[in-house]
Structure 1
């Protein structure tokens, strides 16, 4: 078995890096969707949601960087062209969404997709004995499940 510079199986690391790149593409599209919700939300919940969406996109941006750096740590190159993000993302662009509940529905759907993908990445990471990636995914899932619960409670 050939290993990479951090002692992980090279083939499994390559597969993980590819899945992380797909996750990265989804994060980038979701990040832009949440920025759009922040900028464009209208109505009686404006002040509350405007702040909450800003909290969300700031957190997503940190995770974008962490995922890209994890790809590099595994010895591969992170995607960095928006055209690649669009081509590889399951999260679809949200355009011209302004109504608060529709924005929150989009937020919840995006997190549902990310959590599912992160569970898959975590399983691959565990199989590869990649504790760093598995822990990162576990931490994201834990935080995002709580976020889903809170926004779901807001929806009623």
Structure 2
């Protein structure tokens, strides 16, 4: 009997690349936190992009578009890294939010307050990514450490640019 390829479901797969399963599982959990946090931040950046007003409109509108496009690519890369190390990536908004250290935006704020919150969120992401780098380095997963290290600089620069725009 033929098995329908549409009925397959992603699951953990054995990976033999030099990092123990237990260590890869912990890294996958950390990456899931990073993906969830990045996803919530992505949504908040889009909200600022759509709702920004005032004299800094043009620069903030364009800057936030660059930021959310970058986050979109990074989320995809990090979720695919979870798959590459043998585990399933998060699915759906509720799982993203459950795993996020970034708080969802629940009401519209002034442009300045929205941007201040994004600055704090980008700094929070940099700290979370540092924890991820340390966890990856502890188990010699240099690829994950490298990927996350690169992201730290992106978030630090985003925080700086946003802060400079409203100062």
Q: Same fold (TM over 0.5)?
A: yes
RMSD (Å), alpha carbons: 1.5
CA distance in 1, matches of 2:61, 2:75: 21
Pair 1:34 & 2:10 matched: no
Higher-Rg structure is 2
CA distance in 2, matches of 1:9, 1:122: 17
Pair 1:111 & 2:97 matched: no
Offset at residue 98 of structure 1 (A): 5.0
CA contact (8 A) 1:21 1:78 kept: yes
1:109-131, CA deviations, whole angstroms, 9 ceiling, x for partnerless residues? 11111111101110010011000
1:98-148, CA deviations, whole angstroms, 9 ceiling, x for partnerless residues? 532222112111111111110111001001100000001111112222222
Gaps of at least 5 residues in structure 1 are: none
CA contact (8 A) 1:94 1:106 kept: no
Offset at residue 5 of structure 1 (A): 2.9
1:54-102, CA deviations, whole angstroms, 9 ceiling, x for partnerless residues? 0110001011101101100110001011111122212111134353222
Residue 4 of structure 2: aligned partner? none
Count the aligned residue pairs.
154
CA distance in 2, matches of 1:5, 1:62: 27
CA distance in 2, matches of 1:150, 1:40: 18
2:155 aligns with one of 141, 144, 148 = 144
CA distance in 2, matches of 1:61, 1:50: 17
Residue 68 of structure 2: aligned partner? 57
Residue 35 of structure 2: aligned partner? 24
CA contact (8 A) 1:45 1:100 kept: no
TM-score, length basis structure 2: 0.86
